[in-house]
Amino acid sequence: MPKDNSIKSVLIVGSGPIIIGQACEFDYSGSQAARSLREEGIEVILINSNPATIMTDPMMADKVYLLPLTVESIEEILKENNIDAVLPTMGGQTALNLCKEAEELGIWEQYNVRMIGVDVAAIDTAEDREKFRQLMMRIGIKVAPSRVANSSLEGKEFAQEIGFPLVIRPSFTLGGTGGGFVHDKSELDEALQRGLQASPIHEVLVEKAVLGWKEYELELLRDKNDNVVIICTVENLDPMGIHTGDSITVAPAMTLSDTAFQDMRNQAMLMMRSLGNFAGGCNVQFALNPETEELIAVEINPRVSRSSALASKATGYPIAKIAAKLAIGYSLDELKNQITGTTSAYFEPALDYVIVKIPRWNFDKFKGANDTLGLQMKSVGEVMAIGRSFTEAIQKACQSLENEAVGLGYYGKSLMKSDDLIEYIKVPKWDRIFRIKDALMQGVTVKSIVKATGIDRWFIYQIQEICRIEKELANHSLESLTADLLKEAKQNGFGDEQIARILHSNTTEEQIYEKRKSLGIIRVYKMVDTCSAEFEAKTPYFYSTFE
């Protein structure tokens, strides 16, 4: 079925100020959506209170309103413009909550405006913890044992029923705001109060904590004909217990068995199809027991998210652009030449490379802030790297962090002793990945690190491979460095400066560069074409590697 021609003008609601937990990814989504709708000849009106965004550039929309994100502002815009529909899924949790509030006050009905992409029932089901739990039970998907509480007294009663450790999850919040872990009775009162205050509907989910389980995210698109595609499967390097925005993530998923992967796909599709009237992008989170592969659903977000922006860049599939077209009535199979230039949008991207995202923290600017990572997001941004292997991608990402790291290492800095390191890495902090590498360099076993961190042993073995190459490099000077070892180091993500620091003679970055150039070890550029070269692609971009 082609697009709905009755929609002549659309209001896009932005996400407001860039804050911790909600950053530029919604600017990216909103900008894509505005361009996507204007391509279809639709007038785009945009509201956002933040002038420092690309989406509020006059080039992006036909009309831009720099107003507070309130129902009063929405009504002011509706009085001035003849608007047919509102798209609430591009501005994060802020936009969803605002559009839901306007719906409850009868604003959309009063001005004859339709909500497209998602309806209030779907928002309620996904964001209200109790409705989500009931829906999962109805469709046969497991969730952690949990109860919903609207007061501290209720929360305490449920805590006694369920037992510790617990996780407190407020309804209708973003970035894990107000959430936290409770390990014993002494922490319960404060955690419940914080969660209830953070939730706009004064509601929290008191849930059994599945600490140490593996965490996965799937990015999906669904059209009004119920076609569903899974755009990207992302694996969190850190186990459950750390907000996914604060976790190092890897795409595609690296440590899933095929049976667990297929089970996860099927459950994600079932969850998305159960959401009622929904056409657009969606994000589903799962926890997986590493021992038994038991799977439980954590949450579903009926909007494009932080992870959607990452998945778009990781796969080359423009999720927000396609989601906007699905919202105005197109089906996935009708959207031709949008991505590869030769196929419809009804396909699942194939990756012949590895993506690593590492969050970026700035604790030195927040004196006295607790730098232990948990359910509430604390990162102020992130970097993404592409490589032919996990080792290459993680080292490239570390080089981009702007925190004095040179690849996966701080060279010339004092190291802790191995016993101290084991204790240190038990607690998730911003520099844990670097300390894991320090521990491996000092001979701590993979088994000990897995036990201390809960990180899958595959990732630890990969970091051990980086350590092996580094130890080999340390045995050489510039003159004795062989072409094979230099090439192996470059293929595993070692930068020229990093190699220069590791060699035991006073070597400079420029000398390493000249040496590898003379040996013919130079960058090549590979394509992110969304389909692993199965079709000729028209919209790719490139990354450098040494393969």
Q: How many domains is the chain built from?
A: 4
Assigned domain for 38 exists: yes
Phi/psi of residue 45, each to 5°?
-110, 135
| pLDDT band for position 342 (cuts 50, 70, 90) | low
137 occurs within a structural domain: no
pLDDT digits (tens, 9 = 90+) for 116-133: 888 888 888 887 778 888
Q: How far apart are the first and last CA of the chain?
A: 45
% of the chain at pLDDT higher than 90: 41
Distance CA 164, CA 79 (A): 52
Say if residue 399 is in the same domain as residue 516: yes
Q: Domain check: are 223 and 329 in the same one?
A: yes
Window from 165-179, 190-204, 263-277, 480-494 with minimum mean pLDDT: 165-179
Query: Looking at the structure, do residues 499 and 367 belong to the same domain, yes or no?
Result: yes
**Cβ neighbours, 10 Å, residue 482:** 11
Q: Which of the pair, 284 or 370, is modelled with greater confidence? A: 284
Select from 189, 169, 188 the least CA-distant residue to 179. Answer: 169
Specify the CATH number for the domain of residue 154.
3.30.1490.20
344 pLDDT higher than 60: yes
Contacts of 3 (CB under 8 A, 6+ apart): 40, 325, 328, 329, 330
pLDDT of residue 412: 66
Q: Is 190 inside a domain boundary?
A: yes
The H or E element containing residue 380 is none
User: Who has greater pLDDT, 139 or 5?
Assistant: 139
276 Ramachandran zone, left/alpha/beta (phi>0; psi -120 to 50):
left
Same domain, 415 and 309: no
Per-residue pLDDT band for 24 (boundaries 50, 70, 90) equals low
286 and 295 in contact (C-beta within 8 Å)? yes
Q: Are 378 and 246 in contact (CB under 8 A)?
A: yes
Contact 214, 239 (CB under 8 A): yes
**Boundaries of domain holding 414:** 358-372+386-526
C-beta separation of 497 from 406 below 8 A = yes
* Mean pLDDT in residue range 473-488: 93
Place 340 in a pLDDT band, splitting at 50, 70 and 90. Answer: low
Does 68 sit behind a cis peptide bond, omega within 30 degrees of 0 on the bond before it?
Answer: no
The domain that contains 310 carries what CATH number? 3.30.470.20
Query: Band of the pLDDT at 74, cuts 50, 70, 90?
Result: very high
Residue 517 CA to residue 546 CA, distance in Å, equals 12
How far is Cα 355 from Cα 372, in angstroms, rounded to an integer?
25
pLDDT for 515 equals 94
With 70 as the cut, is the pLDDT of residue 341 above it?
Answer: no
Q: Is residue 92 part of a domain?
A: yes
* Whether residues 408 and 293 fall in one domain: no
Does residue 424 surpass a pLDDT of 90? yes
What's 59's domain CATH number? 3.40.50.20
User: What is the token pair recorded at 72?
Assistant: 């009063």
Query: What is the domain-level CATH number for residue 445?
Result: 1.10.1030.10
State the SS3 of 521-539.
Answer: CCCEEEEECCECCCCCCCC
Q: How many CA atoms lie within 13 A of 237 on its CB side?
A: 24
At position 402, the amino acid (one-letter code) is: E
Residue at 123 is within a domain: no
Question: Residue 89, Cβ neighbours under 10 Å: how many?
Answer: 33
CA 127, CA 200: separation in Å to the nearest integer?
A: 11
Number of H helices, E strands in the chain: 19, 18
Q: Indicate whether 201 and 254 sit together in one domain.
A: no
Q: Do 518 and 411 fall into the same domain?
A: yes
Query: Hey, what are 489's tokens?
Result: 């180091």
Structure-token pair, residue 46:
């945009």
328 and 394 within one domain: no
| Residue 533 resides in a domain | no
Which of 518, 483, 478, 529 lies closest to 502 in space, CA to CA? 478
Using CA atoms, how far residue 410 sits from 67, 378, 414, 455, 468, in Å, is 45, 22, 9, 21, 17
Lowest mean pLDDT among 171-175, 221-225, 428-432: 171-175
Answer yes or no: is pLDDT of 409 > 70.
Answer: yes
pLDDT band at 278 (very low <50, low <70, confident <90, very high): confident
Choose the final residue of a domain: 160, 191, 208: 208
187 and 327 assigned to the same domain: no
**276 and 402 together in one domain:** no
- Domain contains 130: no
Examine the domain organization and report whether 462 and 503 are in the same domain: yes
CA distances (Å), 13 to each of 29, 33, 87, 102, in order?
11, 11, 7, 12
* Segment 153-176, tens digit of pLDDT: 788 888 888 888 888 888 877 656
> For residue 169, what pLDDT is reported?
83
Closest-CA residue to 498 (of 466, 542, 525): 466
Average pLDDT score over the chain: 87
- Hey, how many other C-beta atoms are within 10 angstroms of the C-beta on 79? 8
The residue length of the chain stands at 547
Mean pLDDT within 400-424? 83
Is 536 a residue whose pLDDT tops 80?
A: no
Q: Does a structural domain hold residue 259? A: yes
> Quick one: 365 and 320 in the same domain?
no
